[in-house]
Amino acid sequence: MKLIKNKIPSLSISLLSLILLVNCKTEVEDKRKQLPQPISLEQDYPIQPVLFTAVKFEDKFWSKRLQTSKDVTIPFTLDQSEKSGRIKNFRIAAGHESGGFCSEYPFDDSDVFKILEGAAYVLMVEADPKLEARVDSLIALIGEAQEDDGYLYTNRTILKDKPHVWAGTKRWELTHDLSHELYNLGHLIEAGVAHYYATGKRGLIDIAIKAADRVCEDFGPDKIVSFPGHQIIELALAKLYRATGDEKYLTTSEFLLESRNNGSEYSQSHIPVTQQREAVGHAVRGVYMYAGMADIAALRNNQEYIDAINSIWEDVVTKKMYITGGIGSTGHGEAFGAPYELPNMSAYCETCASIGNVYWNHRLFMLHGDAKYYDVLERSLYNGLLSGVGMSGDLFFYPNPLESHGQHERSPWFGCACCPSNVARFVPSVPSYFYAQKDDELFINLFASGTAEINIQNNPVQIRQETEYPWEGKILVDVSPEKSEEFKIKLRIPGWSNNTVTPGDLYTFVDQAEEKVTLKVNGKDMDIQMEKGFAVIQRKWKKGDKIELNLPMPVRRIKSHENVVSNKDKIAIQRGPLVYAAEWTDQEDKKVLNLVLNEGQHLEAKANPTLLGGVYTIHGNVKGMTINEDQNLVANDKSLTLIPYYAWAHRGPGEMMVWIPTKEENAKPTKSPTIASKSKVSGSHITKAIQAINDQMEPENSNDKSIIFYHWWPKKNTVEWLQYDFEKSASVSEASVYWFDDGPFGGTRIPAGWRILYKDGNDWKPVKASTKYEIDTDRFCSVSFDPVETTALRLEVSLPKDHASGVMEWKVK
């Protein structure tokens, strides 16, 4: 397969692999001029991105994140892929080592491919011989692991006819379900195209072409009629089509989309894609598919696809998206929930889903040219997505909840490591989302200090931004075309600056902002001419022309649609594009869940250059609710400090919340200590959630996901235990347990039986019960027993035959 070179690129968004603007002036410009370029296509997105090779940041916010990605995230995730056996799988498949499949999941190959994609983006911008050598070595290994006919799936190559149960007994047998064979290859193709345009080397793209040819040979109307259980190859094949001009890749991508029918909502295969109008099922799968449909719509001018994804987008932004831009509200299936089902503590909001949300909204913008898609993209980027990676570059979140009782901590890696590897490939591409162009129109979509080298109708133009965004809304834009010429500049005016939180009425500002957006050109005030959310300036531009855009950034209060039950009588706080959160470490008593913010309370933003890498914090006064020993609710005056949501969980685990109650009855008051709450907790299975059993948070029902709960899943049909060690010896005679039960869909049910034992010296003895051990849902189940003097109690639980059990709270009297 020959790749077509040296033509003017018709660039697609996606991050990225289709690169190389002739006028891109960087330290590796001379090398780039010799590198291959994407082909010119007659049909594609009407608006094209100015990719990151032409954009250089000089700001305090993004520059250090890109540097951290290069210096820390990519090497770190490669190291973790080695330690976890992912890279060893390729060595075994290649015959260099012996042994079985080394890692947990059959899709673990994909993590290596994603990290290679991120490394390629780094190499596009800056020469790094050490990284390039490491990448080359890994590519050679992958090539040796690939089977002769192009098939590449190390789990089956290593395990032969007995691969992982998800993989099936033969190739492609369970590709529609959980095999992830096509998912793996999708990420391989994306990495191959990116690496080719970064280095000019054919090693990885030849491997990708060989694998893609295998897919095209095996799937089709008169061949295998199936679809990927996890979407991504649709995007990848469209990207390979752009790189090669080979029609079969685009045709196969369409075929895989059109084959989706009579499957499940979980994988968006329940009905044909053109008939889908609501976001359902696994959130990451969904947004990858919607982005793939956008690619086909652009390349084939397919209006049916456009109609479908437009309707699905309306469903998401008006009913199923968090204020942070996160999507996928439920951990059950990592899925979109029902309309307005947006719980906070149990919010899933997978980091990968936020990345996919950026992909999708970027493509919709390129189809329609409407700033509303960038309003969603920016919200996801600065909040739900950035939360997923710690500022050190080597700690990550998989879910990104909007409330925590202290059970959440960032992790350096996961058994399913899709999020760290996705972050590794995404962050280096961020500059490509800032600018776009269409004929003589230049779009400035996002804001950061730095330069962009852009070619507008064969006239090189340098754009320089100076701004402290996202902390301040003053943006200076220097426009310097090589020759004076008339063209349009379209500056995005964010919805949040015009009293629109998100498109639709899912979220609204409590009050209207008084200060208005202003615009000047060369110091002269301009009337703002709006078009689809953009301020349009059309004039003959000359070197040194200056635009001054001022986006006021008052502290704003936001409320939810009344159907979002979890946010009733609560508000969220936003300043500029950033959503804020209250975190335990900023409060004197280390509590935030008991706070109440009166609606009229003044809030003020302050710069704090030494906190969390330099942030603006928000300050005000609140009430802290407590229940005293007489069981009376008491309100105490307290000061409030809020931090940007993306920066939470950098200072240790503890309470956090985004949605702050405005009424006392909605707070979770701090209660007076009890024997149980002061006890040391231990158990047969230790997790962070074990703190739930004595945190004094009482549930509304046995499946109340608004508070933390503890369970023994996936254990079943065993005897498990929890233990309280008291501060000092005490006489006790009653125990009450609120059981966790997430039936009918979850794996946890009320226990088959339970009993209480007390510690007598070094021995454990059962108490002498005077009442029946109660077992029921949606209430405390109690047992009374003859008083015992002891230093410890043990709750012994017999799990059901086919399920686990769990505990929401355990009281002792």
CA distance 797 to 721: 6
720 is catalytic: no
The bridge status of strand 570-575 relative to strand 403-405 is unpaired
State pLDDT tens for residues 38-49. 677 889 999 999
Least confident residue range of 39-53, 77-91, 220-234: 39-53
State pLDDT tens for residues 270-309. 999 999 999 999 999 999 999 999 999 999 999 999 999 9
CA distance 155 to 164: 7
State pLDDT tens for residues 294-349. 999 999 999 999 999 999 999 999 999 999 999 999 988 999 999 999 999 999 99
Non-local (6+) Cβ contacts of 617 within 8 A are 586, 605, 606, 608, 611, 641, 642, 643
Instruction: Please compute the mean of the pLDDT values over residues 576-601 and round it to a whole number.
Output: 94
Non-local (6+) Cβ contacts of 26 within 8 A are 32, 53, 56, 125, 126
Confidence of residue 36 (pLDDT cuts 50, 70, 90): confident
CA distance 429 to 74: 13
CA distance 22 to 604: 47
State pLDDT tens for residues 101-116. 999 999 999 999 999 9
CA distance 330 to 327: 9
Contact 668, 704 (CB under 8 A): no
Find the catalytic residue in 102, 216, 349, 418.
Answer: 418
CA distance 206 to 642: 51
Element holding 643 (H helix, E strand): strand 633-644
Q: Provide the pLDDT for residue 169.
A: 93
129 pLDDT higher than 90: yes
What are 331-338's contacts with CB under 8 Å, separation 24+? 331/399, 332/745, 332/746, 333/266, 333/281, 333/282, 334/282, 334/283, 334/284, 335/266, 335/280, 335/281, 335/282, 335/283, 336/279, 336/280, 336/281, 336/283, 336/286
Contact 625, 667 (CB under 8 A): yes
State pLDDT tens for residues 623-650. 999 998 888 899 999 999 999 999 999 9
Non-local (6+) Cβ contacts of 660 within 8 A are 570, 571, 572, 573, 582, 595, 596, 597, 622
The residue whose two tokens read 């098939």 is: 151
Contact 806, 684 (CB under 8 A): no
Closest CA to 642 of 608, 598, 600: 608
The residue whose two tokens read 């070094």 is: 762
Confidence of residue 22 (pLDDT cuts 50, 70, 90): very low
Q: Provide the pLDDT for residue 248.
A: 97
Backbone CA torsion sign across 322, 326, 327, 330: negative
Q: Which CATH number fits domain 436-550: 3.40.50, 2.30.30, 2.60.420, 2.60.40?
A: 2.60.420
- Model's pTM, two decimal places? 0.93
Structural domain boundaries in the chain: 1-14+26-42+54-259, 436-550, 569-670, 680-812
Q: Which two tokens stand for residue 276?
A: 């889908």
Closest CA to 775 of 803, 798, 759: 798
Contact 756, 770 (CB under 8 A): no
Instruction: Please compute the mean of the pLDDT values over residues 172-199 and round it to a whole number.
Output: 96
State pLDDT tens for residues 381-440. 999 999 999 999 999 999 999 999 999 999 999 999 999 999 999 999 999 999 999 999
CA distance 590 to 651: 12
Q: Which two tokens stand for residue 103?
A: 């890692």
The third-level CATH classification (topology) of the domain covering 680-812 is: Jelly Rolls (2.60.120)
418 is catalytic: yes
Q: Provide the pLDDT for residue 34.
A: 60
Mean of per-residue pLDDT scores for the chain = 93
How is 413-481 classified by DSSP, letter by letter? --SS-HHHHHHHHHGGGGGGGSEEEETTEEEE-S--SEEEEEEETTEEEEEEEEE-TTT--EEEEEEEE
Instruction: Please compute the mean of the pLDDT values over residues 769-783 and round it to a whole number.
Output: 97
Closest CA to 429 of 122, 23, 201, 21: 122
Closest CA to 747 of 773, 774, 771, 717: 717
Find the catalytic residue in 334, 403, 453, 809.
Answer: 334
Closest CA to 17 of 43, 44, 39: 39
Q: Provide the pLDDT for residue 303.
A: 97
160, burial (CB in 10 Å: exposed 0-12, middle 13-18, buried 19+) = exposed
Q: Cis peptide leading into 661, omega within 30 of 0?
A: no
Distances (CA, A) of 156 to 78, 229, 335: 23, 17, 28
CA distance 770 to 746: 34
Closest CA to 297 of 308, 286, 284: 308
Non-local (6+) Cβ contacts of 137 within 8 A are none
Strand partners, 725: 680, 792
Residue 307: strand, helix, or coil: helix
Strand partners, 642: 582, 618
CA distance 533 to 541: 22
How is 133-160 classified by DSSP, letter by letter? HHHHHHHHHHHHHS-TTS---HHHHHHT
Q: Provide the pLDDT for residue 18.
A: 34
Please give the torsion angle defined by the CA atoms of residues 127, 130, 134 and 135, in that order, rounded to the nearest 10 degrees.
Answer: 0
Q: Provide the pLDDT for residue 20.
A: 31
**Higher pLDDT residue, 560 or 30?**
560
The residue whose two tokens read 């470490």 is: 585
Q: Provide the pLDDT for residue 397.
A: 97
CA distance 300 to 788: 77
State pLDDT tens for residues 142-152. 999 999 999 99
Contact 228, 187 (CB under 8 A): no
* Chain centre distance of CA 585: 24
Residue 791: strand, helix, or coil: strand
pLDDT above 70: percentage of residues in the chain: 95
The CA-to-CA distance between both ends of the chain, in Å, stands at 76
Q: Provide the pLDDT for residue 6.
A: 31
359, burial (CB in 10 Å: exposed 0-12, middle 13-18, buried 19+) = buried
Distances (CA, A) of 695 to 115, 686, 706, 716, 719: 40, 16, 13, 25, 24
